[in-house]
Amino acid sequence: MNMWTHSIRAALGSLALAFATCGIAAAQDASAQSEFSADQLPADQDVSERAIELAGWIVGTRDNQGYPFAVIDKRTAQVLVFGADGRLRGAAAGLFGSAAGDHTAPGIAGLALSAIPGDDRTTPAGRFIGAYGPSIDAGRVLWVDYDSAVSIHPISLGVPSERRAERLASPTPNDNRVTHGCINVSADFYERIVQPTFQRGGVFYILPDRGSLADTFPGFARSS
């Protein structure tokens, strides 16, 4: 375990992050700062070793090329957001595609959500360079991968039966698979952490469900 991994582990262990610690100046009001936590992971839920090690490798090798980045672990349903300097800005639970898998179905970006087959409602794994851009029906969104129509956005409460807020708040990742492939986080985490961090784009590393790390991140796998 290199020094970057140690550093990230220490940051994760003390993620009672105030905005000053995160380097985020979006909130001016002291009471708002005290009410918001950049650590929105479920209580007593550990961050996976592979997410910590991948983040350490990214910082150590500068694979993010000077951009902010996120390490996203579908198995644990966690989203870790880092600034361009490699400092951890926040961590939160996320919702992901309802189907387990790491592929992107051909032509999926041109389909209406209701037309996407159940087996293809996946959140693909890999390294993606994302940025804000227009969408057909949701205005300007943060695209993780435009070609597979995967974005990261606040949870939608439009379908009460999906219980997205309850799933996001649950203590385990077992019920966090519900979307058509996009990544959902809480509205406050999105507004306070995701949006300002990736205002000019960034790199998104999504760990695989079923695929191997060697196929998904060959450079990282070789170093490990």
Question: What local confidence, expressed as pLDDT, does residue 154 receive?
Answer: 94
Q: How far apart are CA 12 and CA 46, in angstroms?
A: 9
Using the predicted structure, report yes or no on whether residue 70 has a pLDDT greater than 60. yes
Element of type H or E holding 207: strand 202-207
* Domains in the chain: ranges and CATH: 3-223 (2.40.440.10)
Using the predicted structure, report yes or no on whether residue 73 has a pLDDT greater than 90. yes
182 token code pair:
């996009």
Question: For the chain, how far is it from start to end, CA to CA, in angstroms?
Answer: 9
- Which of 154, 128, 131, 158 has its CA nearest to residue 142? 131
Cα 98 to chain centroid distance, Å, stands at 16
Element of type H or E holding 152: strand 150-154
Decide: 99 and 121 in contact? Cβ < 8 Å: yes
Write out pLDDT tens, residues 177-222: 998 889 999 999 999 999 999 999 999 999 999 889 999 999 999 9
Question: What local confidence, expressed as pLDDT, does residue 157 receive?
Answer: 77
Task: Return the higher-pLDDT residue of 203 and 46.
Answer: 203
**Alpha-carbon torsion angle 150, 50, 170, 116, nearest 10:** 30
Q: How far apart are CA 61 and CA 83, in angstroms?
A: 15
Question: What local confidence, expressed as pLDDT, does residue 74 receive?
Answer: 95
Average pLDDT over residues 53-60: 94
Sorting pLDDT into bands at 50, 70 and 90, what band is 119? low
